[in-house]
Amino acid sequence: MPRALVDITPDGQRPDEDPSLAVRNNGGAQPSSAPAPAGRREALLLLSFGGPEGHDDVMPFLENVTRGRGIPRERLEEVAEHYHHFGGVSPINDQNKALIAALEGELRSAGIDLPVYWGNRNWAPYVEDVWQQMADDGIQHAYVLATSAYASFSGCRQYHEDIARARAAMTGSAAAPGGPTAEKLPHYFDAEGFVRANADALVEALAHIPAELRDAARLVATAHSIPDTMAAVAGPDGHAYEAELMETARRVVETAVPGRDFDLVWQSRSGPPSVPWLEPDVNDHLKALAEAGEKAVVLFPVGFVSDHLEVIWDLDNEARETAAELGLAFARAATAGTHPDFVSSLVGLLAERRAGGEPRLGTNCPAACCFTPPRPARPTT
């Protein structure tokens, strides 16, 4: 089941030229610093990556994810085995459902009466179908919460593109899209609740390291690697992905165990070997730590908001096995998930936008922000 393929750039406009995606998705207006109009029917949309729900879904899902990227078939089959290991079901789906339930409870507690919808980029419920459902339900404006806290093409701009694609799919026109207008909520890498959730998880993970090694255990933050070219254009001035991750990791460590050193490394690379991606890889870093005489390591995956498959496979399986082979004591911290402080911070972001808070990066992104020219498709034989 492939996702819809529609052109999201109006004729005569380049993707990196004004009006930006943020402006176009907001109905042609800059995201406002005024309170939401009285009487406007609004909703919160949790927009995520998507994941298969059974063995038969796995390969079509991966084809959706990698369409146009030139990923070799053998690499898809390798990744597919990771999903088949878990019954072909991605844990991200139940995690999103749990987050929605937590958000709905927090909204009620905060006295905010908004329906919550869920849409995905790469698998059902597709964002295009959910946009149509919101339109049918009379929703006029959607606040979009992406399951990514950081700047980058795949972590921010592509979610703006998802919104534009869903709106264009309703009319078949990028020049006159339909359905609710929308604004993406800002990056939340520095939200107090996100930091607190990760810090609490780091403290708990440290407790699993033998007491005699705990105080000297190396702390290692992890995040999804991206191509160097993508990292170079992340954010208005470039390299915002690495900078935001470093700031989150610093805050988490200062909250959990002040004064400790930490490293930031990368995981889950999926591109061809000829394309440079952010390094070092977490497994290579573990080897370097062991060679340097380290005896224990705690990984804390601040680059992710839930324990989805890449966290479970790449850290709980591969990195843990690497650490065992090297004789390193090992623990992995949980992600933010549905930690109450994290959920509260997300609702706070929504309340801030509805009240007329200044539209920050992630909401009001410049037209060229995180733009990477599309790669030419590989020839087929």
**Residues 74-88: pLDDT tens digits?**
888 988 999 998 899
Single pTM value for the model = 0.95
d(CA 192, CA 362): 17
- Cross-strand pairs, 266: 223, 281
CA neighbours within 13 Å on the CB side: how many for 287?
6
- Non-local CB neighbours of 289 within 8 Å, separated by 6+ positions: 218, 220, 297, 328
C-alpha distance across the termini of the chain, in Å: 23
**pLDDT average per 10 residues of sequence, the chain (381 residues):** 74 96 97 96 97 94 82 85 92 97 98 97 96 98 98 97 97 95 98 98 98 98 98 98 98 98 95 90 98 98 96 97 98 98 98 96 98 62 34
Strand order in the sheet with 329-332: 262-267, 218-224, 296-300, 329-332
Question: Tell me: the pLDDT tens digits for 295-340?
Answer: 999 999 999 999 999 999 999 999 999 999 999 999 999 999 999 9
Nearest-5° Cα angle at 35, 32 to 37: 95
Residue 6 pLDDT: 87
DSSP string, 215-257: TTPEEEEEEE--BHHHHHTSSTTS-HHHHHHHHHHHHHHHHHS
Residue 375 pLDDT: 62
Enclosing H/E stretch for 182: strand 181-184
Place of tokens 């107090």: 192
